[in-house]
Each structure stands twice: as C-alpha cells, then as structure tokens.
Amino acid sequence: MKTFLPSAWRLLTAILLLFLLNISPLLAQGPTFLSYAPSVCPNQTVTYVLTGIPDGYVIQNASATGGSFFTPAIVDGRAEYVVTWGRGEDGRVTPGLRKPVRNTKGEIIDYENVAPGNIPQVTIKSVFGRNITDRINNTDVIELPLCGGAQTLTLTLPEHYFNSDTNFPVTSYLWGVPPSFTVVGGQPATVFGPNNWLSGRTITIQVPAGQFDELVAVKLWSRECEGPGLNAPATQTSNPQYVRIRRTPPTITTVTGSRTSLTCGDQRPLTLSAILSQSGGASISYNWPATLPNGWTYQTPAPRTGSSVVVIPSGLPGTVTVPVSASYSCSGINGTTAAVAATLTVSSQVAQPAFTAPAAVPAGQFYQLCGPTTFSATPGAAQYRWTTSWGLNFTTTTNSTVITPPPGSGNGSVSVRAQNPALGCTESELSSFVVQYGLPEPLSVNYDDKDLCFTGLVFFAVTGKVQAGYQWSISGSGGIFRFGSTGDRVAVYIRNPNSSFNLSVVATNACGVVGPVQGGTFYTADFRYDCYISDEPRLTVSPNPARENLLVRLEEPAQPALTESTAGKQPAAKAAAARAADTEYAIALYDRFGRSVREGRTRGQQLTLPVADLPAGTYYLRATRGKQSVSRQLLIQP
C-alpha cells in the first residue's frame, strides 16, 4: 500500500489537470450554443445545446420565434432547447439565460440577462401561404398570333429564396400546365394530380395551332421538407402565380398614306397601305370600298385585295375617309377584322411654289441662269401670278415654267403665287427668290492701304455685276500674296517700297469663265506708309532704302495761329508745347518677324541708328510716347 498510493495520487492529479485544460476555453468564453444547421424544415424538431453555464445561473422567459418548446433545465452546466419549428420563414431562439446579482454579503438580490454566444437563428424552408409578386416572363398575358401554328415557348419566373436569404434558393417549382399543352423535358409531379410538373424556375412548353385561351400556373415548392412524419406535399407550396396564354385574331393597326400633306388642286397618285398586326400562316384578303368619295378614283384596277392601293385625289378641298378591313383564314378559323379608315384632309390652298432649277445652286442664295431654264411646277397649280424685275421672261404651263434671262449678266428678283380657280382653291402663299444670269464680268479692282504701316499689307478687292469665284495672279518684285490668292479680296505683302507689281484676276461661275482680266500695275512708292495721328509729331527716316546708318527725326506739328478766340488760351497752348518738347520718345526698329533689332531714345532731335550689320529686307520703325505711337516701313539693302 505504501508504494501504490503515491502512484495513484499522481494519476489522479494528471486527470484533474487534463479536465481543467479541456474546460478552460469554455470557462473563458462563457455560455455558448454548440454548432447547429443554419436551415430547417417546418415541423422539424431540433435540439440546441447551450454549454458552459456557471452555477447559480437560471433560465427565465425563454422563447423560440417561429417555433415552440418547453423551458429547459440546467443540468451540469448545460441546457437543451428542444424546438419544433413552425411554418414561418424566420426562426430564432431567445435563451432566457440570467446570472445572479449579489450584494456585498454575497446574497442574491436580482438576476440580469446574459447573451450566450452563437444563439440559434435559422432559415425555415417554408413557402406556405407566400404570394408571388413577380410575373412569369414579366407579363400577365402572352398573346400569340392566331395563324402562327404550333409554337415552343419558354416560361421563366425570377429566382426566389427561402426567407429572402440568397444562401438558400428555392430549387423546386411546381408548374400547372393545361393538358392541351406539351411540356418539354419536364418531370410529372403526380403527387399533386395530373397536369402538374416539377421543374426549375424555367419550363419549356409547346402550344398547339388554333384558337385557345389558357392559364399556366407556377408555385414555389419546398420539396426537400415533405415526407412521412414531416410534412404533406400540399403544405409545402406557395400560392400560385399565373400567366395567360392565348391566340388573338389579326387586326388592322393603321392605314397610312404615302403623302401626309395634301393641298388643293394636287391630283398626283397617292398610295394607301393597310398595316396588319400579324403576318404569315394565313390567307389574307383586304376589302377596300368599291368607290371613293369626293371625286377620288382608283388607279389600282379591281379586284383590289392587296394591302396597298393607289388612288387619284380629285384635288377638291375637304376630308376623305377610306375604310378597309381584312378577311383571314387559318387553322380552320375564318374571320374578318374590324375596318380601320385612312382619314385624308386636303387643304383649301394651293401649295406654295418651291421651284427647283436643274443646275446646282448655293442653298439660300440665288438661282443661276445661263440661258432659258426650266423649273418644275407646283403640284396642283393651274396657273401662276408672277412679279418680276425687268428683263426676265416667263413661259408657263401646268407642268413647268421656263425663265429666259436678258442678254449680258446681272441679277433679278422673282415673286410668284400658284393658283387653281377651277377647283375653288385659295391662292398659294408668296414665294420669292433671286436669280443671277450671265457670265461673270469683273468691273474694277480697288485697294486699301490704310493698315500698311502696321501690317505691311495692302488689300485688293474686285467687284463684278454677278457673284463669282475669283483666282488672282501676281507678278513683279514689289509684292507677294499673303493668306491665299482666291476670293473677291486678297492681301498683298509689300516686299520693296521702291518697286512695282502686276495683278490679274480670273472670274468663274456656273455659266463660264472670264479672264484673266488685268487689274493694273501698282507702284509700291505710291502707297501710304505713314500712319500717325494728326496731333502727333511727324516721323521721318532717311535714307530709305538704307545701307549703313538710319537717320530718325521727329517733328512736332505746327501750332495754329492765334486769334481773338484762342488768344486767351495762349499760355495753355505754350504749356502743352513745352510738355511735348520735354517728352522723351522710345525708338525701336523691328524686322519682319516682329523682333526688335535696334532701340534708342530721343526728345525730338535727330537720332542715328547703325544698320550696316542687319540682313537686307523690310523693317518697321516705331516711335512711342505714352499710349501713342507712329510707325514707318523701310527697306535695308546690302
């Protein structure tokens, strides 16, 4: 015995330590439910075990939302909640666990709630009584053409979930299909009786030819929760959702005309077309009226059984109604659609003339006439009332108008109204347009050199009797074109102030080409190079052209002679002259790129600028005083 007891104590100590190690996590984390399945079935009984309950804890007011149970007892630190779940969709257990509150003497004076870990919350796979708000194929009615023959349809309901939890989708759907329809690849759900089919949320069916009007139903089915001792099949489906599938007879939707705007006197053929709601699979015959009202007639010969007919309006003002129906035969079904009418209103006024010339004309500018020109007539017009400028002659028929221009070239205006008094039509609105006739004739070439001293450019413009396109040419060393050589205005850059150049221009329009016409020889020395304000000093530079040195001089403008009216202002005038004489000018010489190459300052006396080292070419000298300046163009030669 003396040798056995120490070994027994060692074994007992080891077992006790092992027990403490195993329960220490439970003691650390407090009361916790053991793991459980996240989904259950209606009427399913499940035991949920709460462990790690310390001594002195009690269970009060425990409950199960969506289920029922008896309050469990705490035995050896654990409690078993035996829950039978109902037909709701959301299930959760309220443990009702409470711990004692003791005073300083260790006496229990109250209990407070304790929230264990991992409280059971489950999805009950129940759809009983649920209403399906989504629609099959997103519609209430599927309408098929009456004469479409047998057809295959795919019906789909949006996906549904148990308790709106995407982790638990409904996988079984119960479809109710009429016996006249055929299910493709479905599984009969005989437990629900005939014409019921197990499928997913999509089912494919074949519908027969001929007339029918049927309902297809679908229910959500919690199929995994049915069985003996659990649930009857009828208790595991939702309320149904329906879609109506039917064949509808064809109808005429609209009758349209090839022209929507009809004016008085217009007797051009017009096409009327009936649009049928369905096509194919049927014998269709259209029923147009034998005669038309208000003097209208058919161009299409009888029998008129097609969907379109051509009619001839009488041209009389008023409203005309042309009804049409369609007779159909298919799948042993015969019928006639309701009549639909085309309503056509003819205005009381002749259409406004909109003459078009055979030659291309710039839009909105003028009609170019190069000789007698034929214009198309206005629909419905029997005669015209012209107002024209002098020289234009007209020959008019109901089909066309020929306008003959006078000799030479020029412009004219034309106004016209269309009439048809025989049909009682009101005269048309006035149409006015401009005509231009004849070859282009350049009359003169003028120039503008007012900006020469600032830009080095002289602008030339050509005028003519009629509008035309112009192509310019230049020769000589005095200038070159800037910004192109076409148009009625061109810019010439002056290269040498002591030279000349020749200009010519060619004019072109739809009637032909004139030129080249000589614009003349222009001497560059004749252009105005000074640009100064009259009350500013006069700027002179010499020599021009320069080679070595450039002499710059500023001369104040002469003061006006004193009179009795100005004598009193003499002191002020003298003061102004004194200020001018005392003002310093900034002098700058620029090359043709606008770069300053020489600078200086002067109070009016002569200033010399060396230029021998500057490249030959055109330069600009500018004198600046305050906000005013004067400039001069000059040439430096090698």
Q: Which fold has domain 442-526?
A: Immunoglobulin-like (2.60.40)
**pLDDT given at position 338:** 95
512 or 558, which is more confident: 512
Q: Which CATH number fits domain 351-437: 3.40.1350, 2.60.40, 2.30.29, 3.30.450?
A: 2.60.40
Task: Sketch the domain layout of the chain as residue ranges.
Answer: 71-119, 128-248, 252-349, 351-437, 442-526, 538-558+579-636
Whole-Å CA distances, 239 to 139, 169, 220, 252, 594: 18, 17, 8, 39, 90
Contact 610, 584 (CB under 8 A): no
Q: How far apart are CA 246 and CA 148, in angstroms?
A: 12
Residues 538-558+579-636, CATH architecture = Sandwich (2.60)
Mean pLDDT of the chain: 84
- pLDDT tens sequence across 251-274: 999 999 999 889 999 999 999 999
Is the domain covering 128-248 a CATH 3.10.450 domain?
Answer: no
- pLDDT tens sequence across 44-61: 999 999 999 999 999 999
- pLDDT tens sequence across 58-93: 999 999 999 999 889 999 999 999 999 999 999 999
Contact 341, 321 (CB under 8 A): yes
Separation of first and last alpha carbons in the chain: 139
What single-letter DSSP state applies at residue 490?
A: E
**pLDDT given at position 46:** 96
Buried/exposed 471-509: b ≥16 CB within 10 Å, e otherwise: bbebebebbebeeebeebebbbbbbbbebbbebbbbbeb
Angle at 501 between CA 500 and CA 506, to 5 degrees: 160
Equal fold, 128-248 vs 442-526: yes
Q: Which CATH number fits domain 252-349: 1.10.3430, 2.30.40, 2.60.40, 3.40.30?
A: 2.60.40
- pLDDT tens sequence across 115-134: 999 999 999 999 999 999 99
- pLDDT tens sequence across 395-451: 776 667 788 888 888 888 888 888 999 999 999 998 887 888 888 877 778 888 877
**pLDDT given at position 2:** 44
What confidence category does residue 576 fall into, taking pLDDT thresholds of 50, 70 and 90? very low
With the C-alpha atoms ordered 595, 599, 603, 604, is the resulting torsion angle positive or negative?
Answer: negative
